[in-house]
């Protein structure tokens, strides 16, 4: 099944096993249209993060920030979006705004993979 969402097409694949891991989404049961609907916002947010990361790597920080902000709008409980907003804001020399984004990461996910890096940045 293909579902077109904006600039990306999300491909839902039925996998016979009980668990399928794709990026940050873990499906505990086989994919169905109903399951995909529940995870579609995260998949779309991931698409914006990927595009934003490509902008970030190409030093197009304003474009990167716009994509990371859109990802956060789509999925406001996704710590990864705020982490990349913080990193991008640092590149744009907005360190106070970056610290706010890093604090959101800690609030949302205290076990985030880069939590030690973030805590150093905010002085915790």
3-class state of residue 11 by DSSP? strand
Q: How far apart (Å, rounded) are the C-alpha atoms in residues 108 and 88?
A: 19
CATH number at residue 13: 1.25.40.10
Residue-level pLDDT at 14: 28
Phi, psi of 26 (to 5 degrees): -115, 125
15-47 residue pLDDT tens = 232 333 344 444 455 555 665 556 678 888 999
113-124 residue pLDDT tens = 999 999 998 887
pTM of the model: 0.69
Report whether 27 contacts 63 (CB < 8 A). no
Domain encompassing residue 12: 2-122
| Tally of domains within the chain | 1
Is residue 53 over pLDDT 60? yes
Residue linked to tokens 């169905």: 32
3-class state of residue 96 by DSSP? helix
Is residue 77 over pLDDT 70? yes
């Amino acid at each position: 099944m293909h579902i077109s969402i904006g600039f990306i097409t999300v491909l839902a694949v039925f996998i016979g096993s009980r668990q399928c891991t794709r990026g940050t989404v873990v499906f505990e049961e086989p994919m169905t249209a109903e399951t995909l609907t529940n995870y579609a916002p995260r998949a779309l947010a991931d698409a914006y993060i990927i595009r934003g990361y490509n902008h970030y790597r190409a030093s197009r920080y304003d474009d990167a920030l716009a994509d990371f902000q859109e990802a956060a709008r789509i999925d406001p409980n996704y710590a990864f979006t705020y982490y990349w907003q913080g990193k991008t804001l640092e590149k744009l020399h907005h360190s106070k705004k970056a610290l706010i984004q890093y604090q959101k990461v800690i609030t949302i996910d205290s076990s985030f993979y880069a939590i030690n890096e973030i805590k150093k940045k905010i002085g915790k």
